[in-house]
Amino acid sequence: MKETFVVNTEVRGDQGKGASRRLRRTGKVPAIVYGGKEAPQQLALSHQEMSHHLETEAFYSHILTLKLDGKDQQAVLKDVQRHPAQPVYLHFDFQRVFADQPIRMRVPLHFKGGESCPGVKTQEGLIEHLLVFVVVESLPKDLPEFIEVDLSKMELNDSIHLSQLKLGTGVSLVELKHGKDLVVATCHVPRMVEEEVPVAEVPAGEVPATAIKPEGEAAAGAAAAPGKPGEAPKAGAAPAAGAKPEAAKPEAKKPEKK
C-alpha cells in the first residue's frame, strides 16, 4: 500500500525577497503551486513539517495532498531550494496533478542482487550504477514510488539498459521515447590503481644519508688507484694516499762515437 503524504499550507499574501526573509524568521518557508487552468498560488509551509517529510524518499516521487483553506489539492513536488551551507530550506515548488492528465516525474532506482550475481561472486567483477533515477511518464494513479533493478543474473562484462527495466502498467520512460537506451548498470573488472612511492624530501642544509660514507670506506676509496684495474695510472695523477714515491731511474748513457 502506498504511503499518504499530507502537507498543511496557508495562503501567503506578501511577496518579494523581504517578505520571504520575514516569513523564514517565523519558522515557515515560502512555496508556490502551479499547473492546470488555475492561476499560480503563493503558499507558506512549516519548515519543521517539511524537514520531516523530506527524510522519506517516497515523498519526492509521490502524489501529495496539499491542504489549503479546508480543501485538498493533489500535487507533486517539482523543486526544492536549499541553503548552500546550512540545513535550511528556502523555497518549494509544487505542480497540480489531475487524474486524467499524464505527468512526468523523476523516480529513484532500487538495485538488488548485485552482491550475489555470478559476475561478482565467482568472476571477481564489480557492479557500477550509472543511473540512480529515471524520468517516467504516467497518469497520477500509475506513478511508481521507485523502479526495482534486478542484478542477480549479471555476469562479467554484462550491462543492463533502460529497455530491460520492468515497468508497471501505464508507465513509460521519457529517455526511450527520444531513442536513448542508456546503460543503467554494468559489471566489469575492477581497475588496478598503481600507487606512487613517495620520495622523501631532504631538508635544505642536510646531506642525504647515501652521500655520507663511513670512515673506513672513505679511506679505502682514497687508497684505490684511479682508473681501471690493471691500468697504469695516468700521467699527472696524484699518488694514492700512503703509497711511497718511486725512485727516479738514471738515464742510460748513449755510447760515444769514436
CATH code where residue 109 lies: 2.170.120.20
Question: How far apart are the C-alpha atoms of 74 and 140, rounded to whole Å?
Answer: 9
Instruction: Write the pLDDT tens digit of every residue in 148-190.
Output: 999 999 999 999 999 999 999 999 999 999 999 999 999 999 8
In a shared domain, residues 142 and 83? no
**pLDDT tens-place values along the chain, 258 residues long:** 467 899 999 998 877 889 899 999 999 999 999 998 889 999 999 999 999 999 999 999 999 999 988 889 999 999 999 999 999 999 999 999 999 999 999 999 999 999 999 999 999 899 999 999 999 999 999 999 999 999 999 999 999 999 999 999 999 999 999 999 999 999 999 876 566 667 666 666 665 555 555 555 544 454 444 555 555 555 545 555 555 555 555 555 555 554
The verdict on residue 250 lying in a domain is no
Neighbouring-strand partners of residue 212: none
Residues 6+ apart with CB under 8 A from 207: none
Here the cell at position 130 is 550509472
In a shared domain, residues 67 and 138? no
Domain boundary among 164, 188, 212: 188
What Å distances lie between residue 59 and 10, 109, 164, 173, CA to CA? 20, 14, 26, 20
Question: How far apart are the C-alpha atoms of 243 and 219, rounded to whole Å?
Answer: 13
Domain span at residue 73 reads: 5-97
The verdict on residue 245 lying in a domain is no
